[in-house]
Amino acid sequence: MPSVGTGVSRRLLGRLRDVMAGSGSAEERLNRTVGLIAEGLKADVCSCYVQRAGEVLELFATKGLLASAVHATRLRVGEGLVGLIAAQASPMAFADAQNHPAFAYRPETGEEIYRSLMGVPILRGGRVIGVLVVQNKTQRNYSEEEIETLETVAMVQAELVAGGLVPKEEQIAIDGNALLPLRIEGVRLNAGIAIGTAVIHRSQISVQRLVAEDLETELNRFKGALTAMHNQLDALLNSADMEAGGEHRDVIETYRMFAQDAGWIGRIAEAIQGGLTAEAAVQKVHDDTRARMSQVSDPYIRERLLDFEDLANRLTQHLAGKAGVTQELPDEAILIARTLGPAELLDYDRKKLKGLVLEEGSPTMHVAIIARALDIPVIGRAEGVLTRIEPMDLVIVDGDSNQVFVRPGEDIVAAFRANAVLRAERVAAYAAERDDPVVTIDGTQIGLHINAGLLADLHFMESSGALGIGLYRTEIPFMARHELPDVEAQTQIYGKIYEMAKGKPIVFRTLDVGGDKVLPYWNGAPEENPAMGWRSIRITLDRPAVLRQQLRALIRAAQGRPLSVMFPMISEVSELDKARDLLDRELAREIARGTPKPERLRVGTMLEVPALAFQTDALLKRVDFISVGSNDLVQFLFASDRGNPRLSDRYDTLAPSVLAFLKRLVEACRSKNVPLSLCGEMGGQPVDAMALIGIGFRSLSMHVPSIGPVRRMVRSLELAPFQSYLEEILDRPDRSLRLMLKAYARDHGVDIG
């Protein structure tokens, strides 16, 4: 049978447009459209399935199947070929559908006489809301052009399906949107607490006109809007917010690169040629992209989808003449969104925006990097916030404990406001104490350093009174860019770090990527357990050119100043030897070309893999310092994925086994006079830090906000009696010593906050 041509597609869209604009209920118009689609596509059957509550697909309209099956035939998402199309959110065509293993026969439909089937998901905002199906009695091989035509038609159907077919009360029942106080858990993307009024971010403009009347006019509108959007992004890059440079500028430059993606632009132009308006073409390409990319497990690919979503919304705003128009914010606003593009966040008034809550998100997404640079508390992966939060609701963003409070009671609000006042007072007190020596009551000095990855982190180092940067995460600038930064770009980055550190010591950790930290330009194969897979030093030793370039840039950036380099995820001494050999070769190369030799070169390793602790005799002869990466170390010690919610509270960092392991490491390093520090989350928690000091740590590295509380704890601790107490309880069989240590602090006046 001949395929359906572009001309037929345009005529069909025109007829569907007339039905859409006509009279009758949504279901009556839906019934008329399936008849038109069957006729236009030369099909014996056209059926529309609508997704209802509980992931059920209900037959809502048909031309060709038995009329009695309407509202009677239901399939679960994933059941049958129709359910498979919905589950995978992708079009499918079957010349012999009934012999497909996924086929689910429903006798009430009378479909046994139809052999071939083609179906496409009906998408709204990238989410499946139904399935549009055509069937034929004969065995028919549907063409790519026919599939694309049905996809375009499904976009028109989406307006009907989303426009009132499912009763509103059913949606309310599904969403559970009663106006009661709520506590929603999420993931901290940036720490801090904010209280304010909910503002719902709705960037997507509803596309009213779907079918083009004049293709040339639509193409010209598209080209004009695209040029205007590019000009707007150029202006944003030249704004005052970007003058200082840093990772947030890199993010916007990467975003601008996506806006110039030839494939994305070409697909939109092609959709316009197929008969859609410019707005409808942008929406179709985005819905297709979202449905396709949402099936991909690669976190980088999924996060870049957010950038394309932001671009689609921004381009649609230009087409509608509403570019640059953002909602007026109340004085203290909490922005609620499914997701947010980096440029969208910068559209809002930063003086009024106090917090951000997202249904999606991860710490490496671009908007999270921007938010950290602007010091805005952010909670991500807060499920259902768009359906559970109403505009103008009072919202508390608790970035410290990964929670969002919606319409909280007066007692909770009062507690958080009091806590905010107390926090402000404490921050002021910590700032006033920044020059106080970090010494225990009985005279033991403790070195406190900061962990940094963003330039924004360094702005607060001086005010915290930290001794220096105990861990600079070199991978963060890599993650903000769309391509591997060359030696010159890296030299500029590290030179800026030296400049902002103002002579304080810096420990540069070499590239630590893989696992949950993905770079766009490195395509690694999917791994069952990425935390223990091809990551960190394993990658850079396998790709030594990357490590050599980074080491070269660090030597050049030092400009004769002291340089401390730390290699991460070392599992055996031979890996350290290979990395050190690359460093020595780069150092010799740079000295030969006239680069100033670092005043002092210190080489160290992260200790995260337990196996390395059993090679200390060989290790300690080769390093100038060791830093414990407690986050990975603890999960490896317990064989426990720290991202698994079932295990998140099962094991504690203050378990006797963890402290005993670390104590042996302290003793080994002390015997060889090798400095030892810790740079995981343990170091920034006053109780954990107290225990670490008790077993012999004298240097800790932490996030900037933790410096003040840990300093205060140290200055209120008498170490000798605490060490005696800790020695007594280390052999206990308890799963954790946390409660006992808190009780000790309370009884002995140790300030743990």
Catalytic residues: 366, 679
Distance CA 37, CA 153 (A): 8
Best CA proximity match to 254, nearest among 369, 95, 177:
369
Q: Angle at Cα 582 formed by Cα 622 and Cα 569, nearest 5°?
A: 60
Residue 308, helix vs strand vs coil = helix
Best CA proximity match to 160, nearest among 119, 139, 204, 129:
129
Dihedral (C-alpha) 251, 254, 255, 258: value to the nearest 10 degrees?
-160
Query: Which residues 6+ apart lie within 8 Å of 451 measured at CB?
Result: 457, 469, 470, 471, 473, 679, 701, 702, 703
Within 13 Å, how many C-alpha atoms sit on residue 193's CB side? Answer: 17
CA distances from 317 to 8, 270, 335, 348, 683 (A): 30, 20, 19, 15, 47
SS3 for 230-297 is: HHHHHHHHCCHHHCCCCHHHHHHHHHHHHHCCHHHHHHHHHHHHCCECHHHHHHHHHHHHHHHHCCCC
CA distances from 549 to 274, 484, 514, 540, 594 (A): 48, 10, 18, 11, 17
H or E element that contains 692: helix 686-694
Q: Angle at Cα 342 formed by Cα 340 and Cα 347, nearest 5°?
A: 90
Query: Which residues 6+ apart lie within 8 Å of 714 measured at CB?
Result: 438, 439, 440, 446, 448, 689, 693
Amino acid at residue number 707? I
Best CA proximity match to 395, nearest among 408, 384, 385:
408
The per-type count for the chain, helices as H runs and strands as E runs, is 28, 22
Which class for 320: exposed (0-12), middle (13-18), buried (19 or more C-beta within 10 A)?
middle
Amino acid at residue number 587? L
CA distances from 552 to 61, 378, 452, 586, 588 (A): 66, 36, 21, 6, 10
Q: Which residues, in sequence order, are bridge partners of residue 124?
A: 127
Amino acid at residue number 24? G
Q: Which residues, in sequence order, are bridge partners of residue 517?
A: 514
DSSP letter string over 530-571?
Answer: GGGSS-THHHHHHSHHHHHHHHHHHHHHHTTS-EEEEE-S--
Instruction: Report the relative pairing of strands 378-380 and 353-358 from DSSP bridges.
Output: parallel
Phi, psi (rounded to 5 degrees) for 96 = -130, 75
The single residue listed with the structure tokens 């944003």 is 236
The single residue listed with the structure tokens 């969104």 is 337
Distance CA 430, CA 419 (A): 16
Please, are residues 565 and 508 in contact by the beta-carbon 8 Å criterion? yes
Give me Rg for the CA atoms of the chain: 30
Q: Angle at Cα 725 formed by Cα 710 and Cα 648, nearest 5°?
A: 55
Distance CA 637, CA 614 (A): 13
